[in-house]
Amino acid sequence: MTLKRSWIDSANSAETDFPLNNLPYGVFSVPGKVPCCGVAIGDAIFDVATAEASGLITLQGGPYLQHGTWNPLMAAGPVVWADLRAQLTTLLAADNADTDTLQNLLVQQADAQLHIPFTVAEYTDFYASKDHATNVGTMFRGAENALPPNWLSIPIGYNGRASSVVVSGTDVTRPYGQLKAPDADLPHFGPCARFDIELELGAIVGTPSQGMQSVDAADAMIFGYVLLNDWSARDIQAWEYQPLGPFQAKATATTISPWIVTAEALQDFRAPAPQRSRPLLPYLRESGPMLYDIDLSVGMTPKGGAETIIARTNANQMYYSAAQQLCHHTTSGCAMRTGDLLGSGTISGPEKDMRGSLLELSWGGKDPLTLSGAEQRSFIEDGDTMTLYGAALGAGFRVGFGACTGTLLPAKPLPDWATT
């Protein structure tokens, strides 16, 4: 786990998210051009679409990189994934003597716009942090019923809305919904007053499947990971979620980081699962460490103000791995498809400042946060920008995701038909 050096100087910095060790995949455009596939390297993006079209990269069964989305490559399977990574590593390594042609395929990230890196087939959200489930359960159902009876046996999940998934940098508009005050008899329709984030890791299915898959097989199906902010309307959720689960509370937006960090890039950062409070059923047992040691944090920036880091946690706090979640997802015979996105669920840790949502950080609004500019926050206010950060830390380098950010815009005016 040492830095692999590149001929692109900015990739050799200890501060960049994108050294040669990483090589994450995104989709970028420059003014006047269509979006195309690229790889982040230091401050630059390497245009792999052109590299493939010009024969600098050749992949069995390709071309795969000509459609402005990574889905064709994702569907090609692990052998092709490894081959592309190996070719990119060779092309961009410091010992490559023939870089003149390659120089022309570099675009500065500052000059590019980033787009959603893959087409989301379906989106599933899980509930894999024991601390998060305990915190939320305590607030919603009381301490004695905090952790549902099934939680220690099932990687609990529910289907989310793929059409809600947007790339980092997309503004989010405060939603409307049905709200019922605790002391009211009946609900009203109005703007959400408790809009929140959820700090998650998203796993992306590459290889499709039919039928039940083991944890190991499921792990091999995962192409890579993104940071994921599952924006959540807590007041809408509280009124709607019984008995069939969250619905409109989670459908406003789900922001993902612009770069897919491949499973291969994260292999050196595997971490073991925590001790099991109850033995897992055989089908869910792991053959090895399947979590990842990825530092995660949340920044909150009021409009015109400075950013405060309000939480720091780690992906190794998950109780169930993405591989276990995906295995469980297939038990019913559910077909999985290239581009399926699996959110980890909010990743909280045992300490107060390790909580991955404002609901937990402000304990339902009872204990507001104080930001660096002295503003107080229980939930997100109009104009606030919320940013997730994540990186696996090597010796003198980091394998990062880039920022996963979004700004909350005020609710739109309510149309007449909704009020009269």
Question: Tokens 């909010």 appear where?
Answer: 346
Do 19 and 411 touch, CB atoms closer than 8 A?
no
Two tokens, residue 112: 């590019």
Do 382 and 410 touch, CB atoms closer than 8 A?
yes
String marking each residue 276-305 x if it binds a copy of itself according to CB under 8 A: --x--xxx----------------------
Nearer to a copy of itself among residue 17 and residue 360 (C-beta): 360
Q: Residues in contact with a copy of itself, total (CB under 8 A)?
A: 69
Does 158 count as an annotated binding residue? no
Query: Minimal distance in Å, beta carbon 412 to a copy of itself?
Result: 7
- C-alpha span between 226 and 132 (Å, rounded): 20
Would you count residue 253 as binding a copy of itself (CB under 8 A)?
yes
Q: Which range in 25-33, 175-183, 266-274, 399-407 contacts a copy of itself by CB under 8 A?
A: 175-183
Known active-site residue 115 = no
Nearer to a copy of itself among residue 60 and residue 242 (C-beta): 242
Does 237 count as an annotated binding residue? yes
Q: Which of 2, 60, 242, 267 binds a copy of itself (CB under 8 A)?
A: 242
What is the number of alpha carbons within 13 Å of residue 378 lying toward its C-beta? 11
Q: Which of 153, 277, 370, 376 binds a copy of itself (CB under 8 A)?
A: 153
Site for a copy of itself in 319-358 (CB under 8 A): 328-329, 331-337
Query: Minimal distance in Å, beta carbon 218 to a copy of itself?
Result: 11
Please report, as a single letter, which amino acid is at residue 306. A
**Cβ neighbours of residue 242 under 8 Å, at least 6 residues apart?**
none
Contacts of range 91-95, beta carbons closer than 8 Å, 24 or more positions apart: 91/46, 91/51, 91/56, 91/57, 92/6, 92/7, 92/8, 92/11, 92/20, 92/23, 92/39, 92/41, 92/46, 93/4, 93/5, 93/6, 93/7, 93/20, 94/5, 94/6, 94/7, 94/12
Does 125 count as an annotated binding residue? yes
Q: Which of 188, 267, 366, 395 binds a copy of itself (CB under 8 A)?
A: 188
> What b/e readout covers 84-98, taking b as 16+ CB neighbours within 10 angstroms?
bbebbeebbeeeeee
Q: Which range in 26-34, 49-57, 121-129, 264-272 contacts a copy of itself by CB under 8 A?
A: 121-129
H helices of 24-129, in order, are: 48-53, 71-76, 78-92, 100-103
Q: Which of 156, 167, 388, 404 binds a copy of itself (CB under 8 A)?
A: 156
Nearer to a copy of itself among residue 148 and residue 169 (C-beta): 148
Would you count residue 364 as binding a copy of itself (CB under 8 A)?
no
Task: State the DSSP H helix or E strand holding residue 252, giving kind and residue range, or none if neither.
Answer: none
416 CA to centre of own chain: 37
Residues catalogued as catalytic: 132
- Bind-site residues for Mg(2+): 230, 250, 254
Interacting residues with a copy of itself (CB under 8 A): 121-122, 127, 137, 140-141, 148-150, 153-154, 156-164, 173, 175-178, 180, 186-189, 211-212, 214, 216, 233, 236, 239-249, 251-253, 278, 281-283, 328-329, 331-337, 412, 415, 417-420
